[in-house]
Amino acid sequence: MISFVYILFSEKMNRFYTGITTLSIKERLENHIKKKYSRLNFTHKAEDWKLVWELECISYSQARKIEIHIKKMKSKVYIQNLLKYPEMKRKLQSQFHE
């Protein structure tokens, strides 16, 4: 099943959010903005989320591995490099292939 890893950014919070979905990115973003998820969800804290990065994956498993990798980096600089260097997408896809 095709899945996506995505990164959102909130100017209000000056924070990034990394997630995965099997929905369309547009639908998932709308759900975050409309706060359709639990109040405990991190994205519930702001309403100005913007999609800044996305990566299509061949499976949910691959997407999950990439999401975990990005989150484990715990680095704004790493995310900024993902935004700056598009070739990093191919590296992630090959590093976390099925």
How confident is the model over 53-92, as pLDDT tens digits? 999 999 999 999 999 999 999 999 999 999 999 999 999 9
pLDDT grade, residue 40 (50/70/90)? low
Q: What is the mean pLDDT of the chain?
A: 91
Closest of 52, 15, 51, 56 to residue 32, by C-alpha? 51
Query: For residues 49 and 32, what is the distance between their CA atoms, to the nearest angstrom?
Result: 8
CA-atom Rg of the chain in angstroms: 13
The mean pLDDT value for 89-97 works out to 94
4-32 residue pLDDT tens? 999 999 999 999 999 999 989 999 988 88
Residue 38: pLDDT band with limits 50, 70, 90: low
In the chain the domains, ranked by start, together with CATH numbers, are 3-95 (3.40.1440)
